[in-house]
Amino acid sequence: MEQLALFFALIFLIILGYILGKGRAVALSGHAYHPLHSRLPYYGLYTAIWCGLPSLLLMAGWMAFEPAIAEAIVSSKLSASNQNLTSDQITLYVNDVINLASGGIISREVNNDLQAATDSYIFFRQISYFAMAVVAISLSLGGLFSSLKSISPDLRARNKVEKIISVVMMACSTIAILTTVGIVFSLIFETLRFFNKVPLTEFLFGLHWSPQTALRTDQVGGSGSFGAVPLFAGTMLITFISMVVAVPVGLMSAIYMSEYAGKKFRAFAKPLLEILAGIPTVVYGFFAALTVAPFFRNSGEFFGLDVSSESALAAGMVMGIMIIPFISSLSDDVMNSVPQSLRDASYAMGATKSETITKVILPAALPGIVGAVLLAMSRAIGETMIVVMAAGLAANLTANPLEAVTTVTVQIVTLLVGDQEFDSAKTLAAFALGLLLFIVTLAMNIVALKVVRKYREKYD
C-alpha cells in the first residue's frame, strides 16, 4: 500500500516535470530572436525522464536487493548470538522471522527472542522503506530542478530524449535474450548433476527407459535405467504422424484460401481455421483420449487389429489437427506475398490457374512453406498436453503407430509431478531431457528462421 502511494507520488512528479519542462520551453520561446533547438514537447519529455527514470531505477534496485539484505542482517545477528546453530537451522529461523513479520503461520512457538528478532526485522524494513522513499523523491526533485535549469534554447532535447528512448528499447529487447540464456543455464546445472549420476552415453544411446529409483536408502527399488532413445523415438513417431496429417491438409487449405477461395469465403473461413490454434491443448487432449483413441481401438478391433487404447496414432492425429492452422495460415501468408506480377506473367503465357500455382507460386513460396512446416514441427515436438492424455506412459521402442508410446515431454511431466527428492537421478533426468529437447527444437527453429530469412531477400 505504501509502495503504491510512493509510486503515485512519482507519477505525479513525472507529469509535473513534463508540464514544467514544456512551460519553461514555452517561456523561452517567447524570445523569438533565439529559436529553440527542438520542438516543445521534447523539453517536457526531457524533464519528465530526468524526473522519473533515475528514481524508478533506484526503486527497482532497492526492492530487488533490500529483502536479501534484511535477511542477511537477521541471520548475522542470530549467528552472532547463537554460535552452535547450523546454517540450515539459521535459514529456518530467518524464515520464521519473515513469516511472523508478515503475519503468517510459523513452525515454532513465539518466544521473546523470536519476537525481538521479528521486531528488529520489521523496524529495519520500515527504516529502509522510508529511506528509499526519501531518496527516490529527492532524486526525482533533484532531477526535476537540474533539468529545468539546464533547459535553454541550445539544449538538444530531442536528441537526448531519442537517445534515452533507444537505450530503453535496447534494454527491453535484451530481456528476451537474457531469459533464454537464463533458461539454458538453469537446465545446464541440473543436467550436469544428472550426468554425475548417469553416464552421458547411457542417456544418449541407451535403449531402455525406466526411471524408477529408490526414494530412500532403505527402500527397495529399481536401480533405474535412463536411455532416452525410446522417448525420442516416441516423440519422432508422434511428430511424424502429426506432420503426415497437418502438412497435406494445411498446405491444401492454404492453396485454396490464397488462390481459389472468394473474398467472402476467405474472410469467413480464415478466422475460423485460426480458431483451431486458439483451442487449449488440454481440450485437444480430451478429444484425443475420449473420442479419437476409442474410435481407433474399436475400428481396429473390427479389422482384427490389436490397437492399444492409448495409441501413438490417436495422439499424432489430434496433434496434426492442432497444428493445421500454423501451416495453413503461415503458408497462406507466404503465398499471398508472391507478387501479383508473377501470376500475371504466368497467365499471360497461357498458363492455367493450376499450372500457375504448381509451377510459379509454390516454387516461389517454397522456402516460406518449409519455414512454416519446420516451425509447426518444433511446436509438435514440444507439445505436452495431448500426448500426456492420449499417448500413454509406456516407453516402448516401436515404430508401430497402434501401440502406446511415450514422449520426452510426457516423461518430464511425470518425473516432476508429485513429491520428489530433488537430487535423485530420477528428478534430474527431467532436466537432462528438457535440455536435449530444447537443443533439438532450437536447432529446428534456427533452420526455420534461416530458411524464412532467405526467402525474404528474394524479391526486391
Partner 1 sequence: MDMQNFKTREKAAMAEPKIIARDVNVYYGQSQALKSIELDIAANEVTALIGPSGCGKSTFLRCINRMNDVIESCRVEGRITLEGIDIYNSGLDPVLLRARVGMVFQKPNPFPKSIYDNIAYGPRLHGIASGKDELEATVESSLRRAGLWEEVKDRLDSPGTGLSGGQQQRLCIARAIAVNPEVILMDEPCSALDPIATAKIEELIDELRENFTIVIVTHSMQQAARVSQKTAFFHLGELVEVGETDKLFTSPEDQRTQGYITGRFG
Q: Which residues lie near partner 1 (CB under 8 A)?
A: 263, 339, 341-352, 355, 359-360, 363-364, 458-459
Q: Is 6 exposed, middle or buried (0-12, 13-18, 19+ CB in 10 A)?
A: middle
Looking at the Cβ atoms of 3 and 354, the one nearer to partner 1 is 354
Residue 369 C-beta: closest distance to partner 1, Å: 14
Cβ-based nearer residue to partner 1, 62 or 347: 347
Q: Which is nearer to partner 1, 309 or 358 (CB)?
A: 358
The SS3 call for residue 210 is: strand
Minimum Å distance from CB 276 to partner 1?
Answer: 28
Smallest Cα–Cα separation from 78: which of 62, 105, 104, 98? 98
To the nearest 10 degrees (0 to 180), the angle between helices 40-81 and 2-29 is 150
Query: In the complex, what is the shortest distance from the CB of residue 334 to partner 1, in angstroms, rounded to a whole number?
Result: 13
Q: What's the grid cell of residue 348?
A: 499471360
- Taking the complex as a whole, how short is the minimal distance between the CB of residue 342 and partner 1, in angstroms? 6
Q: Output the smallest distance, CB 338 to partner 1, in A.
A: 9
Taking the C-alpha atoms of residue 280 and residue 386, their distance in angstroms, rounded to an integer, is 10
- Residue 258 or 441 having the CB closest to partner 1: 258
Under DSSP, is residue 225 helix (H, G, I), strand (E, B) or coil? strand
Backbone angles phi, psi at 354, to 5 degrees: -70, -35
Dihedral angle over CA of 322, 323, 328, 329, nearest 10: 90
| E strands, 134-266, in order | 209-210, 225-226
In Å, how far are 208, 211, 221, 383, 434 from 422, measured between CA atoms? Answer: 23, 14, 17, 25, 16
Q: Which residue lies nearer to partner 1 by CB, 288 or 452?
A: 452
- In the complex with partner 1, the residue whose CB is nearer, 351 or 393, is 351
Burial 186-210 (b: 16+ CB within 10 A, else e): ebeebbebbeeebeeeebeebeebe
Give 175 or 348: the residue with its C-beta nearer to partner 1: 348
As measured in angstroms, the least distance from the Cβ of 262 to partner 1 is 8
Q: How far is the CB of 332 from partner 1 (least distance, A)?
A: 19
**Cell representation of residue 125:** 524494513
55 or 258, CB closer to partner 1? 258
Q: Are 394 and 248 spatial neighbours (Cβ–Cβ below 8 Å)?
A: no
Question: What is the closest distance, in whole angstroms, from the C-beta atom of residue 449 to partner 1 in the complex?
Answer: 20
Distance CA 243, CA 401 (A): 14
Kindly tell me which of 61 and 363 has the beta carbon lying closer to partner 1: 363
- Tell me if 65 sits within 8 A of 131, measured CB to CB: no
Distance of closest approach, residue 357 Cβ to partner 1, in angstroms = 13
- Cα–Cα distance measured from residue 13 to residue 42, given in angstroms and rounded to the nearest whole number: 17
When computed from its CA atoms, the radius of gyration of the chain, rounded to whole angstroms, is 31
Contact 236, 216 (CB under 8 A): no
